[in-house]
Amino acid sequence: MILAYHLSVLKDRFPDGINVSLFSGIGSAEIALYRLGIPMKNIVSVEISEVGRNVVRCWWEQTNQRGNLYHLADVEELNVSSFGGFDLVICGSPCNNLAGSNRHHRDGLEGKESSLFYDPFCILDLVKGIMVRYN
């Protein structure tokens, strides 16, 4: 798992847990953090698809996570006042869908659930703007 390799440097940095905003699809970042033993205090998962949200919610409950999982369908709904901001923002890519077996409903950048991924830099700027307004 390449993502876990990249996130492994966070383990010593956040021994008490991490606040994460995710635009990563159906749970790959959450699973990587979990497998690395990095506690998740607050996870804000932005996922358009209700099915995708259900996948993450089921995994969250089955693994007995102690933190808070917030699901949003749109980044515009983001409110950081309840937990004080993010330590990490992860944006995913739908590119793996181009060769995947789910091509019929998540077709790269053209799929209906892929609209969040058109411009990760815009998403990051929006999250940073929300953080500035909060602080």
Range of the domain at 39: 16-106+128-132
pTM: 0.74
Q: Are 113 and 48 within 8 A, CB to CB?
A: yes
Provide the strand spans (E) within the chain. Answer: 18-23, 40-46, 68-72, 88-91
pLDDT at 1: 63
- 121 falls within a domain: no
- 122 falls within a domain: no
DSSP 63: T
Q: Are 40 and 56 within 8 A, CB to CB?
A: no
Which two tokens mark 26?
């159906």
- 31 falls within a domain: yes
- 117 falls within a domain: no
Q: Residue 68: give its domain's CATH number.
A: 3.40.50.150
For residue range 81-120, what is the model confidence (pLDDT) as tens digits? Answer: 777 788 888 876 555 444 445 444 544 445 555 555 556 7
- 88 falls within a domain: yes
Count of domains observed in the chain = 1
